[in-house]
Amino acid sequence: MCGIVGYSSTSNSIDLSEFVSMIKSLDYRGYDSWGFTFKDKDHLTTEKQVGKIPTPTQKGNATFVIGHTRWATHGKVTEDNTHPHISNSKNISLVHNGIIENYEELKNKLKKEGFTFYGETDTEIIPNLIEFHLRNSKDILEAFKKTLDELEGTFAITFLHNSSNKIFFARRDSPLVVGVDKDALIVSSDVTSFIDRTKNVIYLEDGDYGYINSEIKILNRNKEVHREISKIDWDVDKAKKGDFKHFMLKEISEQVDTVKQSLMQDSELITAVANRIKSSKVYIVACGSSYNAAKAAETEFLKNGLMPRIVHAHEFEQYEKFLSENSTVLAISQSGETLDLIKAVKTAKSRGTQIISIVNVQGSSLSRLSDQNIFMNVGPEICVLSTKSYTAQVAILMLIASALVIKPNQAKQEIEEIIRNIYYLTSESARKYTKELSQILRYSNHIFTIGRGRDYATAMEAALKIKEVSYIHAEGFAGGEIKHGPIAMIEHGTPCIVFVPNKENQDILSNAQELKTRGAFIIGISEKKHEVFDYWIKVVGPDKFSPILRIIPIQALSYYLAVMKGLDPDKPRNLAKSVTVK
Ligand code: M6R
């Protein structure tokens, strides 16, 4: 995770406060601590701070500057462990995203050479290793290459050397792009840092390294390479909060449009994917909410005679031996940068397996690795929690699941019919009930969520939403499973959210009764009110689309729980939007 940015002016220098706002725009990638280094003549000046990036107050201008916002992996959240990291001679300042797996070995080697270390990070070895190789290299680039050859693991790196008017960079398995502005080149983890300046972007490939100054030089395997400039096709306004207090609420509200936008797909591609699922071994691979989205659509796949295997990307290694040219990986990811997923996809690709992705971010690593992309079309999702991307993923998967049974256009129409239900669920009047419920639940230590069939996945996603943003322990269960253990946790007043379909799986009502008998406070999410409920949230719509509809009140509930507890729903503790480490 972590966000990095390096700015090299080709004509005008940059105001440091502006540069700090560029780092701030990457803070969805990590917000434990932040820092920057700028070069003034032959001198490097560094500033670092623990905590979220404040509104910029820095004074002055810089021509070459690098910055970082951290999501801690190695080493606690302290100023010493904050990036940029400085070499022993203080000539090199470096920022890094990723993990250096052999850092201990390299650290010991450097210690034997007389290097000392002030922090606990894996990153700190990199500027020192470059410094070490500079002793026997003709220039900085050669020393950098020798360093890269010694590093094991994943990284995106940028650094400054006090004697050079260049910003050096490299990437391996961590995203890095270069923005091409009229008066600057900007190397960054993501386009968000420069989208308001330029829409021209170069997507660096794995193994690329080089530098920017007034121009860009890229090498790969010791050879100079050329990378095309692409155009970013989304607008900066989409990444702004507008009248909303938080991105989370904005993104929940947008679902009335985004579900519809996600249905704008090439029908032939959707049918082709469905056919592949029928005729070949298809593995749906994803993490977190994207995985839950696949599980939410599973019932529809099974009903229609399709049986894809749904696997967490981080568990995919066990399936790798079954991959061949006849298999397909359907990768699902909002960011397209989740490292566990990228690793799984790369392995599958090396076996000749076809890669099809449902992905939101165009130009992301996943979209570039895939043979075919189904873009989610929901615009940037800034809040760390997946909301609009989740319902879009479910909608697209529902299209695929139906494609062999009904015509894609008919499937689209069916989903479009629930748009008015989504409109109500995301409205302020519907949110009144979830807000009221959040007042009842705000002091709870545990919340259990229960569903059967397609609502089991909704229960899992609901628990994930509640816990990641409100820090209340929440766990999702299949209704049939509670009597096999979890029911032991029920005490007087334990909140249990129960998803009750209109017709399918009515056994869930018996499960709710079993819980109520043991003292549970039952919150029903359903179209009809049932006697067993202590609190009811009305959700109207066909059972088939329950995974899209019934999750929306829980997204809102999670949001209000966080706000009521004084937490920032857009940036929950310990989390980051793109999970680019193992
Ligand atoms: O970008 P991806 O969809 O690959 O991300 C996968 C998960 O990291 C993500 O869904 C995560 O679980 C969210 N925080 C859930 O709200």
Dist. CA 422 → ligand 1 center (Å): 22
In a domain, 575, yes or no: no
In a domain, 262, yes or no: yes
Dist. CA 351 → ligand 1 center (Å): 26
Per-residue pLDDT at 73: 83
Please tell me which residue in 346, 544, 577, 582 is annotated as part of the active site: 577
Residue where a domain terminates, one of 232, 264, 294:
232
Helices (H) and strands (E) in the chain, counts: 18, 27
Domain with residue 79: its CATH number is 3.60.20.10
In a domain, 578, yes or no: no
Dist. CA 373 → ligand 1 center (Å): 18
Shared domain for 198 and 260, answered yes or no, is no
Shared domain for 9 and 67, answered yes or no, is yes
Q: Which structural domain, as residue segments, surrounds residue 269?
A: 241-416
Q: Is 123 in the pocket of ligand 1 (CB under 6 A)?
A: no
Protein residue with least CA distance to atom 8, ligand 1: 288
Query: Is 199 in the active site?
Result: no
**Residue 116 C-alpha from the chain's centroid:** 35
Q: Which residues contact 402 (CB under 8 A, 6 or more apart)?
A: 300, 304, 408, 411, 414
Per-residue pLDDT at 234: 73
Mean of per-residue pLDDT scores for the chain: 93
Residue where a domain terminates, one of 206, 232, 258:
232
Shared domain for 41 and 121, answered yes or no, is yes
Dist. CA 557 → ligand 1 center (Å): 19
CA distance 337 to 313: 12
pLDDT in tens, 103-159: 999 999 999 999 999 999 999 999 999 999 999 999 999 999 999 999 999 899 999
Query: Is 577 in the active site?
Result: yes
Check whether 56 has a pLDDT greater than 70: no
Shared domain for 308 and 407, answered yes or no, is yes
Per-residue pLDDT at 212: 97
To 5 degrees, how large is the angle CA 31–CA 34–CA 39? 155
Q: Of the candidates 402, 393, 496, which has an alpha carbon nearest to the alpha carbon of residue 441?
A: 496
Confidence at 19, pLDDT banded by 50, 70, 90? very high
Shared domain for 309 and 217, answered yes or no, is no
In a domain, 458, yes or no: yes
Q: Could you tell me if residue 114 is left (phi over 0), alpha (psi between -120 and 50 degrees) or otherwise beta?
A: left
Q: Is the dihedral of CA 166, 169, 175, 177 positive or negative?
A: positive
Please tell me which residue in 2, 287, 383, 496 is annotated as part of the active site: 2
Q: Is 341 in the pocket of ligand 1 (CB under 6 A)?
A: yes
Give the residue ranges of DSSP H helices in 211-337: 247-253, 255-262, 267-279, 288-303
Q: Is 62 in the pocket of ligand 1 (CB under 6 A)?
A: no
Check whether 52 has a pLDDT greater than 90: no
**Overall domain count for the chain:** 3
CA distance 446 to 457: 19
Shared domain for 512 and 555, answered yes or no, is yes
Shared domain for 301 and 405, answered yes or no, is yes
Shared domain for 559 and 502, answered yes or no, is yes
Choose which residue among 335, 370, 393 to substitute to test ligand 1 binding: the one with the highest number of ligand atoms within 8 A of its C-beta.
335
The residue type at 470:
S
In a domain, 577, yes or no: no
Shared domain for 278 and 397, answered yes or no, is yes
Dist. CA 25 → ligand 1 center (Å): 19
Q: Is the dihedral of CA 8, 13, 16, 17 positive or negative?
A: negative
Domain with residue 506: its CATH number is 3.40.50.10490
Choose which residue among 579, 580, 582 to substitute to test ligand 1 binding: the one with the highest number of ligand atoms within 8 A of its C-beta.
579
Per-residue pLDDT at 278: 86
pTM for the model stands at: 0.85
Check whether 575 has a pLDDT greater than 90: no
In a domain, 576, yes or no: no
Q: Is 342 in the pocket of ligand 1 (CB under 6 A)?
A: no
pLDDT in tens, 326-379: 999 999 999 999 999 999 999 999 999 999 999 999 888 999 999 999 999 999
Q: Which residues contact 337 (CB under 8 A, 6 or more apart)?
A: 175, 361, 364, 365, 366, 578, 579, 580
Protein residue with least CA distance to atom 14, ligand 1: 385
Shared domain for 272 and 290, answered yes or no, is yes
Shared domain for 362 and 215, answered yes or no, is no
Dist. CA 386 → ligand 1 center (Å): 6
Q: Is 93 in the pocket of ligand 1 (CB under 6 A)?
A: no
Choose which residue among 1, 290, 396 to substitute to test ligand 1 binding: the one with the highest number of ligand atoms within 8 A of its C-beta.
290
Rounded average pLDDT over 526-552: 96
Residue where a domain terminates, one of 232, 254, 279:
232
In a domain, 50, yes or no: yes
Protein residue with least CA distance to atom 12, ligand 1: 288
* pLDDT over 90, % of the chain: 80
Q: Could you tell me if residue 375 is left (phi over 0), alpha (psi between -120 and 50 degrees) or otherwise beta?
A: beta
pLDDT in tens, 250-278: 999 999 999 999 999 999 999 999 998 88
Per-residue pLDDT at 404: 85
Shared domain for 543 and 461, answered yes or no, is yes
